[in-house]
Amino acid sequence: MFSGGRPSMEGARLKMKDLPKKVFQLCSGGVCGLTPKGGCVLGGAYMILMTVMYLIFEFGHLNRALYHLEASDTRHSVGIVRIIPYCYYVAIGLACVTFVVCIYFLYSVQKRDTVGLFIYLTWIIIYDITNFIIVTLTSRAAKRANFSISPLEWFGLITRILCDFIWLSFIVAFAMIIIEGRRAGRTSLRTRRVSRHVAEPPKFRLGVHSRGIV
């Protein structure tokens, strides 16, 4: 009964083991002539530019929200309305941290440091998720205060998240190239060490010696 299922399970396991190799072969060549390293540099520069623009717009959205809160009577409002300014403060603080992380990321790309790559990868995922929660919470709180957030907030968030998926693929590919290169370097180093301890065959040594005499 179970004999037919075993080969399929073994085949699935072999496919899962070969998956990282297939991903590496697919991504290592780059996309549209853009190498993984070039994609990382361009992605880091793009994120710095987006962060600067985000800070400019976020200060404008904060002033707009404060104006609406002052114009409406929020003294007897529920607590969710009062957290609107703090949502913008948190978003601005996260953007400032992202700016520093982007600079460290570009430094890591030049130094081929995988730690910096994975730190940036993890931070961008956390940053996008947190921003989505903040914008959702701010939008619901604004409805309680009888105004709505700017459509640019949703547009900028969704656009950045979609673009981040593209740039993160370059980061993963570049990190895999660095890891594979280090493994190949260690293997070649071990091969050299072993070859140094291997003695030459006697016939080969005699042949060289006889040629020198002749």
pLDDT tens for each residue of the chain, 214 residues long: 444 455 555 555 555 555 455 555 555 555 566 888 888 999 999 999 999 999 999 999 999 888 888 777 655 456 667 788 899 999 999 999 999 999 999 999 999 999 999 999 999 999 999 999 999 999 988 888 788 888 889 999 999 999 998 899 899 989 988 988 887 765 555 555 545 554 445 444 444 444 444 4
Of the candidates 114, 174, 134, 112, the one whose C-alpha atom is nearest the C-alpha of residue 54 is 134
Task: Please give the residue range of the domain that contains residue 75.
Answer: 35-181
Domain assignment present for residue 151? The answer is: yes
Q: How far apart are CA 127 and CA 47, in angstroms?
A: 12
Domain assignment present for residue 206? The answer is: no
Of the candidates 116, 123, 119, the one whose C-alpha atom is nearest the C-alpha of residue 94 is 123
Handedness of CA 54, 59, 60, 65 (dihedral sign): positive
Predicted confidence at residue 208, as pLDDT, reads: 46
Per the structure, how many domains does the chain have? 1
Of the candidates 171, 45, 48, the one whose C-alpha atom is nearest the C-alpha of residue 99 is 48
Q: How far apart are CA 214 and CA 212, in angstroms?
A: 6
Domain assignment present for residue 100? The answer is: yes
Write out the two tokens for 95.
């953007």
Domain assignment present for residue 168? The answer is: yes
Predicted confidence at residue 111, as pLDDT, reads: 92
Q: How far apart are CA 156 and CA 131, in angstroms?
A: 11
Domain assignment present for residue 46? The answer is: yes
Predicted confidence at residue 182, as pLDDT, reads: 81
Domain assignment present for residue 22? The answer is: no
User: What are the helix and strand counts (H, E) for the chain?
Assistant: 7, 0
DSSP per position, 13-40? HHHHHHHHHHHHHHHTT-BTTB-HHHHH
Predicted confidence at residue 30, as pLDDT, reads: 55
Which H helix or E strand runs over 109? helix 84-111
Predicted confidence at residue 46, as pLDDT, reads: 94
Domain assignment present for residue 15? The answer is: no
